[in-house]
Each structure stands twice: as structure tokens, then as C-alpha cells.
Chains A and B, each alone.
Chain A
């Protein structure tokens, strides 16, 4: 019960806290304010500009339907409401959209507007709009005005080909840009292209470089820029382009073919498709997707031929290049491969850049080169092309001959040949095969080096072998063959035998040790009893004789019950006197044991005890 009540109390506290928080948030909400922005502060006569008045901190306001400015027609075209929550701060705002149509050139000031909010009022700032008299940008772009396309769609896109250089040499890479502009409100989508039409030149693969918003003649366009490079394949004057592309854009669906003038939403009787309410309320009417063809103006291009007297190793490279070379290893034997890495970097038509060639290839065998190109720009006219060429010396050499690479420099308008320095290397040894072939297995590097002469005709191989082993050989390594693992059973069995034998031996040794320990323990116990004088003569002599037997058994490793006086005396190599005393000890013990307790004295004298003890203690092997 208590738990339920406590939970209910906690929930109530949480609810009260939340409500309190929102009350505080609302109390500290910003006071109402108004802002006004123009979609563009520059416009031309006849081009519409959007004005947006935003009243923040209010859910409803009273804004004017029209704004009176001489030379401008301003009508309200839409209202929307926004709620934002930022760090638990809820903000509501009302947005009023106006469309401005300049009807004459000049600088216009849109006065502050008073927006009423119940009993309060807020004011917008004053705005300035510059209206130019020019009709708008059309020189560098034009849209295809096919019959199938409505006029409104053509106002939404443009295409442009920018070729900064108008004069070039054959093969010279000239960077070019294709710019495709779209009205962002039309939700454009590039459907096809762009492609550059024309003949007599090659283009690099188009690369989309950037996409950004640009304002052109007062209109905002989403401009996609493609970069490429153009290289002429023949001399002469020809046109590049036009650039063609196709795009899909959204335009308002037309109800009738004849445009109805005086529609409530086309306030200014213009062809601007965005004066349609579709763009203010896209769900109010369905849009229509149309495909638009885009086409730019062509660019003219003067191409000069390359001058004659090209160097012999000129492969058509035009541009500006530098070359570096490297070879490794530097120390080889005759016939060993050396990898020569040469890098041609710079700017130009890298597809015509071939591997630098050895200026003197006598005594060298050259393999075909491999290359890889690392471009530094989007279109591949700037970068570094690396060639790897494997060469092998046929004879002793001290240096790698210089490598040469020729190209045409369009700036200097002349051919340039790059030369690497001769790289010092060490080529040792000679052609070993001749020696080996004649004396198989006997050649050493030293003898091979001594006979290093380039052979003019190929060596012949050795004779056929007609013998064959009786058993087929195998490529399978020994460790992967079942026979090898089967053979391991032999040492394994031997190991198991060894372990078994050693275990048995250890157990046996263990039993012997236990027996010895028991006898030692018994001997010690008997000696302790003998030192006491509380036992009867029968017990005393019996223990004494047993002690002798046990000691003898320990010394001789025999059963103590089989020991007699002679055996003990022999075991300890006693003298005659001790032997006699030992014999008497055994006789006395037997006498007392077998003839009854009444024979002999009733006790043992201390001297007798000492004598017996001394005898037994002196029994040492």
C-alpha cells in the first residue's frame, strides 16, 4: 500500500514539475518580432522577386494584403505558420510571402510594414530593391524551344559551354567547363548528358566538379558544373559543341492550352510559372514532370599544327612535364632484372606520354613497360605517370644509360627533350648457362664470372634421359603422406614400452624401500626397548636377538627370520670374541623362549644389559 502511494505521489510531482517547466518556458519566451527579406535585392524590370515577412512569437497576425510602392507591384501570395522547439524553447512564427513585380527601373525602398498582433504591433525593417532595365542574361545560354515544351519550362534551365582558350596546338589539352543551371523550385533532375557535339577533337571523361546556387540576372539557379579537357586531333578552325543535355523539371499542370489571363494567382499576367499557387501550396494541385532539352552555344576553336622536326622519341605528348628516374637494385649479376622506375609529371595529354626510352640500349635486354597514372585534378590533365620497365644487362656495365623523353611545349612553342643522368650500377658475373650446360653441377659463380661473354647464338639443351625409376615420385611433402604418420607408431610403441618398463621398475623399487623402512623402524623400536630395563629376561633376549636379525637383514637385504648367529657374524665381519658373545646371545634367547621362563636367573644384571647393548650397537656393516 505504501509503495503504491509513494509511486502515485512521485508521478504527481513529475506532472506538476513538467507543467511548471512549460509555464516557465512560455513565460520566458521571446517577445514578438518581425523580419522582412527579399529573395534578391537586384532584379530587372519584369522579373519577380519574393518578399518574405516573418513574424516570430505570434500565432496569428494581421499583415497587409498589398504593399504600395511606386514602380513595384507587391501582392501577398501565401501565408504559413511554423513552430520550432529549440532547447525546450517553443517558438511560433507566421510567414507572409509576397511577390514583387518591378514595372520600371530604379532603386525602390519598401517601407516598414506594421503587423498587428492583437493589441500590439510590430514593424518590419525598410528594404531596398534595385531594378535594372536590362532584359536579362541570354547571350551564353539558350533553351531549346521545341514545340513539345511549354514556354514556362524553358525559363527554368540553361546550358553553357566555357572554353577559356581559343587557340591551341594539336594534342594540347584545353580545360573546358559545362555549366547546367536549373531553377531550384522546379525540383530539377538531370536525365541525360551533358554531351559535347562536334568532330575533330577528343574530350576527357566529364567530371562533376561542383554544384552551387548562383544568382544570374536576378534569378537564382542551381548550377552544376562539369569539368573536362578538350584536345584537337587536327589543325584548323572548328566549332566545339553545342553542349546538349536533358533534364526533368516540375511545372504546374495546365488546365487549358490557352493561358487564362487574369487568374487570381497570376497577379501580374506574367509567364513566370512560379506565380502559380502550386509553388505556394504544392499539395493544392498536382505538378507535372516535363523533360526539357538544354543546349548551349557552340565555342569556336583555332588549332595550330605541331611544328616539324620532332625528336625521334616524340610520342605526341604536348604540355609541360618533368621527369625523374630511379633504378634498383644497383648491384646485379649479368642477366638479372633491374627495375627502372621513371615518373613523368606535369600537365598535358598523359594518354600520349610513353615510357622514357634508353638512349643507348646496346648490351641491355628491355621488357615491355607497365604504367600507372595518378591524376592531380578532376579531368586528368595534371598528374604523374609512373613507368616501371624491367631491363637486364647482357654484359658487364658500370652505369645505366640516360633515359630520354620528348614532348612539345605549347607555351614555348618548341620540342623539349628531358634526359636523366646516367645512373651508376654494378653488373657482375657472366652468362652461367653455357658453363652449366657443358658441365652440369660443376659451375660456380666464380667460374661463371670468368666466362662472362655474351653468347651470339642460343645454347642448346642437354640430351634426353631414358631411365625411369621403378616407383613413381610424389609432389606431396612427406609430412602430408599417411605413410609418414603410420611410421610414427614405431617410436610411439617403443616409447610406451619404455614408460611401462620404467613404471614397473619404479613400483618394485618402491616396495623394497617400504620393506627397508619397516625394518629400520623395527630395529629402532627394538633398540629403544632394550635400553629400558623393565622387560623380563625372556623378552629382553628375544628382542635382542630380533634386533640382530633385523640389522643383519638390512645389511644383507635378506629375510630377518632366516638370520642366525653365524649369518649375522659373517654379515658384520665380527671378531672371535664378538662372534662368541653373539652366539651366546642367540643361545640364551632360544633357551628362554623354548625352555620356559623358570630357567636361568629371575632378572638381568645391568652389566649383562650393557654388554648386550654394546654388542648390538656395534653391529655396523
Chain B
């Protein structure tokens, strides 16, 4: 065995020390950042409780900008916007809360109330979307991954086995079917009316038009909080699928994507 150079003997303890120090510093910074965001969240909640809704919105927005996203944060932000009468942003934030946590009962309840108030129009889900709503994209992703691996292991076992087992063949077929179904579900949910292209109209008196001009004929008047599905962007305009199976151009500044 070769003897270790003397310099390594000196270096290694130093390297370990520095690494440990770095980890401690990072942990401290992360915990302090989180503690700071906790304080901001608490302050925003306090402002809301005192009726200072605009200040509360500023506080929540600060957290959103820093990437400290959570369903409750968006829910609270939606509530604050509701109190200021901005139904479009309220609906947008409730939708964001439900995107992060589809079983968020408070966001779901408040979303219904605000939609009723705002008379917001909703996109119609396709038949496939309606049937696939029992799980979300992440759950289908996990199902697809597990099914694919099971099918792969079964196939390997079949290749090396002396005798082809009927049970293994059946399991591999079932797994592949589940994988295909899960991939289809992911595609449908991600590209459907409530997928990644979902946007909410936040402006007032927004009209979808047949062309990218303010004086073009109107296709549909979109109350704040109405859902649209962004199909393409052109300059300051969005070409979107609208409620009632219509399509039209909407000013880009009048709508915001649900997914950040």
C-alpha cells in the first residue's frame, strides 16, 4: 500500500472542516430566510386582519416573488384581492392555490363565491378531462413511472426465463397498458382546458377580438376572472380558446397564466 502524501493528510481535515462550515452556513441562511418569510407572512396576515388589504397584498406578493409558493399563500392572497374588489386577481390566486393543492377546500369554496360574484366565464372541460380528474398530473406521472419499470422488469424476466410464465406476461401487458393510459392522461390534463396554458382574465372590460386590433370586431366580452386557454402569443396579444367554444385575441396585459 502506498503511503499517503503528507500534504493530503493536512488537506483533508481542512477540506472537511470547510465543507462542514459551508453546510452550517447554508443551513443557517436557509433557516433565517424561511424565518424571515414566515415573519412576512405573519405580517401580511395581520394587515389583512386589520383591514389593510392592500398592505396585505403587498406582503403576500413579496413572498410570491421570492418563490415561497404554497397553496395557503395564494389562497390568502386571493382573499385579500377579493376584499379589494379585484375579482380577477382573486380568482387567479384561488386557481393557483388549487393547482398546487387540488384538494384545498377553502380555495375551492371561495373560488365558487367569487366566480358567482364576478359572473366569470369558465372553460368547458373535455370528456377525457372530466373522467381523468380523479388524479392530477403528478400522480399520473408516478403511476406511469412505476408501470413502466414493472413492465421493464417483467420483460427482462421473460427474456431470461427458461419457461415463459403466463402471469409475468399478463403483468407486463397490464403494466404497459397502465403506462400508456397514464401518459395519455398526463397529455390530456397538461394540454387540456385547465392545463398549463390556463390563464385568468384579470383586467376589466376585456373583450376578445377577431384580430389584434382594439377596433376589431368583438368575439366575446370576458368578465374578470374568466378562464381562457392561451394558444399562442403575438406581441401584446394572446390568441386564446375562450369559454363557449370560441377563440379570439385578448390583450396580453389583461390576463395572467395560472402556473408560474
Co-assembled chains A and B? yes
When distances are taken between beta carbons in the complex, the residues of chain B under 8 Å from A463 are 106
In the bound assembly, the distance between CA atoms of A467 and B75 in angstroms comes to: 11
Of the residues B41, B79, B160, B244, contact of A502 by C-beta under 8 Å: B160
Most buried by A among B42, B99, B119: B119
Q: Confirm or deny: B88 has a beta carbon within 8 angstroms of a beta carbon on chain A.
A: no
When distances are taken between beta carbons in the complex, the residues of chain A under 8 Å from B252 are none
A372 to chain B, nearest CB (A): 5
Stretch at the interface among B19-27, B141-149, B163-171: B141-149
Of the residues A335, A468, A473, A475, contact of B38 by C-beta under 8 Å: A468
Q: Confirm or deny: A303 has a beta carbon within 8 angstroms of a beta carbon on chain B.
A: no
In the bound assembly, the distance between CA atoms of A464 and B116 in angstroms comes to: 20
How many A-B pairs fall under 8 Å by CB? 147
- Asked whether B109 lies within 8 Å of A436 as measured between CB atoms, the reply is yes
B233 to chain A, nearest CB (A): 19
From 141 to 163 in chain B, residues with beta carbon under 8 angstroms from any chain A beta carbon are 141-142, 145, 149, 152-153, 156-157, 159-160
- Asked whether A475 lies within 8 Å of B79 as measured between CB atoms, the reply is no
Of the residues B68, B106, B160, B221, contact of A472 by C-beta under 8 Å: B68
- Asked whether B116 lies within 8 Å of A335 as measured between CB atoms, the reply is yes
- Provide the A345-380 mask, 1 if CB < 8 A to any CB of B, else 0: 000000000000000000001011111110000000
From 438 to 476 in chain A, residues with beta carbon under 8 angstroms from any chain B beta carbon are 440-441, 458-470, 472-475
Q: Confirm or deny: A69 has a beta carbon within 8 angstroms of a beta carbon on chain B.
A: no
Q: Confirm or deny: A337 has a beta carbon within 8 angstroms of a beta carbon on chain B.
A: yes
- Asked whether A462 lies within 8 Å of B110 as measured between CB atoms, the reply is yes
- Asked whether B69 lies within 8 Å of A474 as measured between CB atoms, the reply is yes
When distances are taken between beta carbons in the complex, the residues of chain A under 8 Å from B75 are 465
Q: Find the B residue at minimum CB distance from A484.
A: B141
- Asked whether A473 lies within 8 Å of B190 as measured between CB atoms, the reply is no
In the bound assembly, the distance between CA atoms of A505 and B159 in angstroms comes to: 13
Q: Confirm or deny: B186 has a beta carbon within 8 angstroms of a beta carbon on chain A.
A: yes
Stretch at the interface among B2-10, B126-134, B212-220: B212-220
Stretch at the interface among A48-56, A491-499, A516-524, A598-606: A491-499
In the bound assembly, the distance between CA atoms of A459 and B137 in angstroms comes to: 32
Q: Find the A residue at minimum CB distance from B152.
A: A495
- Asked whether B79 lies within 8 Å of A464 as measured between CB atoms, the reply is yes
Number of interface residues of B (CB under 8 A): 64
Q: Confirm or deny: A431 has a beta carbon within 8 angstroms of a beta carbon on chain B.
A: yes
B153 to chain A, nearest CB (A): 6
Q: Find the A residue at minimum CB distance from B42.
A: A466
Of the residues A339, A431, A462, contact of B244 by C-beta under 8 Å: A339
In the bound assembly, the distance between CA atoms of A621 and B149 in angstroms comes to: 45
Q: Find the A residue at minimum CB distance from B44.
A: A464
In the bound assembly, the distance between CA atoms of A491 and B76 in angstroms comes to: 40
When distances are taken between beta carbons in the complex, the residues of chain B under 8 Å from A335 are 116
When distances are taken between beta carbons in the complex, the residues of chain A under 8 Å from B34 are 470
From 374 to 405 in chain A, residues with beta carbon under 8 angstroms from any chain B beta carbon are 388, 390, 392
- Asked whether B218 lies within 8 Å of A371 as measured between CB atoms, the reply is yes
Most buried by A among B116, B153, B260: B116
Most buried by B among A479, A494, A503: A479
Q: Confirm or deny: B92 has a beta carbon within 8 angstroms of a beta carbon on chain A.
A: no
- Provide the B168-191 mask, 1 if CB < 8 A to any CB of A, else 0: 000000000000000000100010
From 55 to 110 in chain B, residues with beta carbon under 8 angstroms from any chain A beta carbon are 67-73, 75-76, 79, 82, 96, 99-101, 103, 105-106, 108-110
When distances are taken between beta carbons in the complex, the residues of chain B under 8 Å from A337 are 121, 243-244
In the bound assembly, the distance between CA atoms of A582 and B149 in angstroms comes to: 58
- Asked whether A506 lies within 8 Å of B69 as measured between CB atoms, the reply is no
Q: Confirm or deny: B251 has a beta carbon within 8 angstroms of a beta carbon on chain A.
A: no
In the bound assembly, the distance between CA atoms of A392 and B244 in angstroms comes to: 12
In the bound assembly, the distance between CA atoms of A479 and B41 in angstroms comes to: 30
What size tier do the contact residues of chain A reach?
35 or more
- Asked whether A370 lies within 8 Å of B218 as measured between CB atoms, the reply is yes
When distances are taken between beta carbons in the complex, the residues of chain A under 8 Å from B70 are 468-469, 472-473
- Asked whether A473 lies within 8 Å of B113 as measured between CB atoms, the reply is no
When distances are taken between beta carbons in the complex, the residues of chain A under 8 Å from B113 are 433, 436-437, 458-461
- Asked whether B244 lies within 8 Å of A390 as measured between CB atoms, the reply is yes
B112 to chain A, nearest CB (A): 4
In the bound assembly, the distance between CA atoms of A2 and B38 in angstroms comes to: 103
In the bound assembly, the distance between CA atoms of A392 and B116 in angstroms comes to: 11
When distances are taken between beta carbons in the complex, the residues of chain B under 8 Å from A433 are 109, 112-113, 115-116
B119 to chain A, nearest CB (A): 6
In the bound assembly, the distance between CA atoms of A495 and B114 in angstroms comes to: 51
- Asked whether A390 lies within 8 Å of B116 as measured between CB atoms, the reply is no
- Asked whether B45 lies within 8 Å of A466 as measured between CB atoms, the reply is yes
When distances are taken between beta carbons in the complex, the residues of chain A under 8 Å from B207 are 370
Q: Find the B residue at minimum CB distance from A473.
A: B100
- Asked whether B221 lies within 8 Å of A473 as measured between CB atoms, the reply is no
- Asked whether B112 lies within 8 Å of A432 as measured between CB atoms, the reply is yes
A191 to chain B, nearest CB (A): 28
From 476 to 496 in chain A, residues with beta carbon under 8 angstroms from any chain B beta carbon are 477-479, 484, 488, 491, 494-495
When distances are taken between beta carbons in the complex, the residues of chain A under 8 Å from B109 are 433, 436-437, 440-441, 461-462
When distances are taken between beta carbons in the complex, the residues of chain A under 8 Å from B96 are 475
In the bound assembly, the distance between CA atoms of A234 and B138 in angstroms comes to: 68
- Asked whether A441 lies within 8 Å of B218 as measured between CB atoms, the reply is no
In the bound assembly, the distance between CA atoms of A371 and B207 in angstroms comes to: 12
When distances are taken between beta carbons in the complex, the residues of chain B under 8 Å from A464 are 45, 48-49, 76, 79
A sample of 15 more A-B contacts (CB under 8 A), given A433-B109, A473-B100, is A368-B221, A370-B218, A370-B221, A392-B119, A437-B109, A440-B106, A458-B113, A458-B117, A459-B116, A468-B68, A473-B101, A475-B69, A477-B186, A488-B145, A495-B156
> Can you give 10 contacting A-B residue pairs, CB < 8 Å?
A372-B217, A390-B221, A436-B113, A437-B112, A461-B109, A475-B260, A484-B141, A494-B153, A495-B156, A503-B160
